[in-house]
A = this chain, B = another copy of it.
Amino acid sequence: MPGRQLRIDEYRIEQEPYYLPTGDELAIADAAYHDGSPLLLKGPTGCGKTRFMQYLAWRLQRPLVTVSCHDDLSTSDLVGRYLIRAGEAVWTDGPLTMAVRAGAICYLDEIVEARKDTTVVIHPLADDRRQLPIEKRGELLTAPAEFMLAVSYNPGYQSVLKDLKASTRQRFIALSFDYPDPEREMEIVCREGRLGMEIAKPLVKLAAMTRGLKDSGLAEGASTRLLIQTGKLIGRGIPIKTACRAAISEALTDDRELLAAMDEMISSLF
């Protein structure tokens, strides 16, 4: 069906995304891909998991179908459902089924946010059966060699209620991500934030300082993404301190004391 082909082509990544590797994550992901093993990405907000998946998809020349998971994502949202067309119930593939059929990479972002049924529906896809049972159609889909399953989550959020079950975890090759080291982070901020080194350097230092505020009650420190957004504001003529407050402090917290602490950090750096 040409229409469907067109659809999946929307998910192809044409241009090489900018990605700075930090270890052997690409070699492991390649091996997992060729073994037909699924991938589990762990790490904090905005540290580059999504960008890694984009780069991997570009490198493997596979379309990338990303699904942001949440409490209300049902199995039907993933697998598909019947829709009425001209008085007929016509089956419509969900993003997961579409990815399996097309031999694409299906990336379930923040998988622990999903309902249990969403987590369980990937079980037979994530072991050596590599099958997707579409119960509503009585169809049993076997994934082609090109299909890859990847999921991500943020261990910092982990709670008793929202944890991956052992029977789910034990199906994945796991990659642990973290913020890049200062050298790499500066390189990224300069490039993506369109900044010179003289501003990127103290910005990266500020990020590290906010990451140290975790014990003072800050949920998470500034991600690399926030530094990039700060850089862009500065590039538009917003004064540095104002940009830091809007893109970093106020984006991170509403707590007056934490905001004051960050104001002091900003003043000490710029």
Instruction: List residues of A whose CB falls within 8 A of some B CB.
Output: 4, 7, 10-11, 24, 27-28, 30-32, 34-35, 37, 40, 42, 45-46, 50, 66-75, 77, 81-89, 92-95, 98, 109-110, 113, 115-117, 119-121, 123-124, 127, 129, 133, 135-136, 138-140, 154-155, 157-158, 165-167, 169-176, 219-220, 222-223, 225-226, 229, 232-233, 236-238, 242-243, 246-247, 250-252, 254
Contact = CB atoms under 8 A, between A and B. Distances in A.
Given A89-B83, A167-B45, A251-B172, A34 B236 contact: yes
A109 to B, nearest CB: 7
Give how many copies assemble into the complex. Answer: 6
A55 to B, nearest CB: 13
Contact of A72 (B86, B115, B138): B115
A7 B127 contact: no
Given A135-B77, A140-B10, A155 B254 contact: yes
Contacts of A243: 28
Question: Is chain A's interface secondary structure helix, strand, loop, or mixed overall?
Answer: mixed
A242 B85 contact: no
Contact of A69 (B110, B120, B140, B176): B120
Nearest to A140: B10
Contacts of A69: 120
